[in-house]
Structure 1
Amino acid sequence: MRILQIIDSLEAGGAERMAVNYANALANEMAFSGLVISRKEGPLLNQLNSNVSYLFLNKKSVIDIQSVMKLRKFVIQNTVEIIHAHSTSFFLAFLLKLTYPTVKLIWHDHYGDSEFLSKRPSLALKFVLPFFNGIIAVNQNLKNWAEQKLHFKNVVYLPNFPSDENNASEQTILQGIQGKRIVSLANFRVQKNHFLLLEVAKKIKISHPEWTFHLVGKDFEDEYSKQIRALILDFNLEDIVFVYGSRNDIKNILEQSTIGILTSQSEGLPVALLEYGLYEKPVVVSNVGEIPLVIQDGINGFSVETNSGQLFYDSLVKLIENDSLRLHFGKELQKTIEKKYSKKTVLDQYSNWIALCI
């Protein structure tokens, strides 16, 4: 098969990581694997394998005919059979279909606010999805929504999978003391709820002042970001909370980290959690989205009620004060990831489903 991934940008978000992960993985499995970026390149470009065909469209507007024709030419030249459109790139895939009807379309729904699907706009999707052959949902809520709200029949739930690719050139050096670092891999978005994380950090500073927090993720320099930075100052956390922005060298960062945390108020299946597990990090995470299917509370990590700063704090303290528990949780979570969320496991399901779509 000949499959092309399409996504809007290569910023270091979960959907973007998965577009790159699929393109890289399929390059070793399929006759052709490609990746098209419609609007903006970014740091994840360095993670793309050399055997993946790549095109940047530099799309300027929602309906950019020049970009559509450029994409069409690329698809024809590479005899692409299937377009795998991630997130909001579904509309570009639809426009391509109008100009090149023989290509098959698949939409990959990475919607992060899956706890609030009742508020999700659906008009555009209902208009274009009749042109698609299938939908991939990153959690069961999204699968149910596509079937019940969009009345789409061919929907499959496929979990995200982590990548152990290590092509990153930058080498981030974390502040703080080795063995006493708590890392959060989360872009600065409202759903990630960094405010709760800072509330927890405020308590940890009092009880365990040598432990530090490391926030790794895209900073959009918006109002949310300003509020985070203001709280760090208001809470006097400058000496224990460090902000790094978007980074490529996740493996390197996690090797320097001790505990992984996610304080999200909504999630699909966060790639960050899978990466924590891949590198044997014990975790404290919110019990939202697909996370409870990954984390068995008290067995391979702590999964706690979202928005409960006290539960996050209590769980972190248990890990901070118990070396053997950290080691046990890390190993158990890695086993879970390898068994249910490995690249091979997901790609086998993907290939079988794709065959039915064409």
Structure 2
Amino acid sequence: MRVVQIIDSLEAGGAERMAVNYANALVNKIEFSGLIATRKEGALKNKIDSGVSYLFLEKKKSIDFKAIFKLRSYIKVNKIDIIHAHSSSFFIAVLVKLTFPRIKIIWHDHYGSRANETKEKNKVLISLSAFFSSILVVNLQLEEWSRKYMKCSSISFIPNFAASEKQTEQITKLKGEDGKRIVFLANLKNPKNHILVLKSFSELNLYKSGWSLHLIGRDYEDSYSKTLKDFIKSNSLLDHIHLYGAKEDVKFILSQASIGILASTEEGFPVTLLEYALANLAVVSTNVGYCSTVIQNNSNGLLFNPLSDKQINNQLKKITEDDSLVKTLAANFKKSVLNNYSEEIIIEQLILAYKNSK
């Protein structure tokens, strides 16, 4: 089996991290594992295993003939059987298939918001799905959506998995007091809902008992991030809420925290939760997407409705006032993730999906 993962960029996002994780995990499982970035490289390029065949297409526009034929040549030279196209990279995959009909396209949907979108908003995707051999989705809502609208009958739910971070860089030292750090790993954009967490941190006066909040993720320097910065400044929280931007030493960053938080109003299956688990963090999470399946409230984490100020306040208050709860939730979450979402378990499911694709 000879498979190449295709993703539009290698910036630090969930779909991007999973494309790299799949390419790395398949190196010793199949005959050939490749990874292609179409439009943009990024920090995740440094996470690609040395055994993975890598190509950057430098795609400049929607229909870029140079990139299409560069991809076609790569597929032909490396005798690729399957293109595993993540998110919006399905478009170039289909264009190549038109010139190379024997290739199989497996499309992977990571976009949790799609479950609430109309057929009209996804016209191009739906029409081109006739060229897909199989569809993979990261939660059950997306599976239902695909079964309703897509022109491909082979649809499988494949959970994301936890990949152990091999990199040992220790660059980013978090401010604040040991044992009192809350980390929020998410790019500064909708629907990540950072402002809800900032307001809760402020309203609960968590800083008065030594807690600090650390936002890790790309800052797009737009109105979204301005709102966050203005809130921090106007509430005199500059010494307690810290923004670091995008970082590569995530494993080291998480090792310095006690609690991980996620507040998205829409999600697919956030890889961030799995990273929190491997870092042995207690987790306070939104209940959207697949989050409420990964986390059982009060057992291996705390859940809240991302539209409810009261719920997040209650959960943050509960966890920051109880050290033993932090330790119990962290231990339970790590155990459940390793038992259910390990690389070995999920890659077996993926290879079976490859074999069953039409």
Is TM more than 0.5 here?
A: yes
Among all aligned residue pairs of Structure 1 and Structure 2, give the percentage whose two residues are the same amino acid: 44
TM normalised by structure 2 equals 0.96
* 1:263–1:307 CA contact under 8 A, matched in 2: no
2:12 maps to: 12
CA offsets, 1:42-71, max 9 Å, x none?
001111110000000111000000000011
Q: Which residue of 2 aligns with 1:103?
A: 103
> Relative to structure 1, is the Cα distance of residues 273 and 110 closer, same or farther in structure 2, using a 3 angstrom cutoff?
same
> Could you tell me how far 1:207 is from its partner in structure 2?
6.6
C-alpha change, 1:120 and 1:270, in structure 2 (3 Å) is farther
Matches of 1:321 and 1:224 in 2, distance apart? 30
> Cα offset for 1:277?
1.1
What is aligned with 2:281? 281
1:252 match: 252
2:336 pairs with 1:336? yes
Q: Does 1:305 align with 2:301?
A: no
- Measured in 2, the distance between the counterparts of 1:6 and 1:168 equals 27
Q: Which runs of 5+ in 1 are unaligned?
A: none
Deviates more, 1:176-185 or 1:166-175: 166-175
Q: The residue matched to 2:117 in structure 1 has which SS?
A: helix
**Partner of 1:89 in structure 2?**
89
Partner Cα distance (2:114, 2:296) in 1:
20
Amino acid of the structure 2 residue aligned with 1:88: S
- For residue 78 of structure 1, what is the aligned residue in structure 2? 78
Deviates more, 1:196-205 or 1:69-78: 196-205
Structure 1 pair 207–314 and aligned structure 2 pair: CA distance change class (3 A): farther
Distance in 1, Cα, partners of 2:151 & 2:73: 33
The aligned counterpart of 1:50 is 50
Q: Equivalent residue for 2:183?
A: 183
- State the secondary structure of the residue aligned to 1:122: helix
Separation in structure 2 between the aligned mates of residue 222 and residue 107 of structure 1, nearest angstrom? 31
Equivalence for 2:65 = 65
1:249 and 1:120 mapped to 2: Cα distance?
Answer: 41
Change (3 A) 1:207 1:187: closer
Kept in 1, the 8 Å contact 2:169–2:252? The answer is no
1:114 and 1:266 in contact (8 A); partners too:
no
Specify the code of the residue in structure 1 equivalent to 2:188.
Answer: F
Provide the rounded CA distance (Å) in 2 between the counterparts of 1:17 and 1:349.
18
Q: With structure 1 as the length reference, what TM-score do the two structures score?
A: 0.96
Size of the aligned set, in residue pairs, is: 358
RMSD after superposition: 1.5
Structure 1 counterpart SS, 2:49: coil
Partners of 1:114 and 1:267 within 8 A in 2? no
| Moved segments of 4+, more than 6 Å | none
For 1:13 and 1:196, how far apart are their aligned partners in 2?
Answer: 21
Structure 2 residues not aligned, in runs of 5+: none
Aligned equivalents of 1:185, 1:207: Cα separation in 2: 19
CA contact (8 A) 1:114 1:289 kept: no
2:85 alignment partner AA: A
